[in-house]
Structure 1
């Protein structure tokens, strides 16, 4: 399943509505660390392993498209 993801910084939350995810993280967007936190939090929230969550588009943007494989 594909999700559109909007990322905010300096907050810590995750909400899912239909095919959209709004996520807030505390990690700074440096050298992919923020993307790793996003993948980890989404995987934990959905109850899947991190290897099942992949960023398809927007690695360097606050708006991303993420695929969650089942």
Structure 2
């Protein structure tokens, strides 16, 4: 199952634009490597992420935030 940038960003509590910016610039968000996106064909070419990768990333992101005091 694939997750859209919009859904991924909601899970993280940030804007979709922040996720896209990180993908285009350094593939990291707050020092954590983002899951590798896949792109649709035709008119649907926005990045999508595998659900399992998203869940793993969100857990790591939340743990990092908790340990950083965010």
Q: Which has the larger helix fraction?
A: 2
Asked if these proteins are the same fold (TM beyond 0.5), I'd say no
Q: TM-score, normalised by structure 1?
A: 0.33
Q: Which entry has the higher C-alpha Rg, 1 or 2? A: 2
Q: Which has the larger strand fraction?
A: 1
Q: TM-score, normalised by structure 2?
A: 0.33
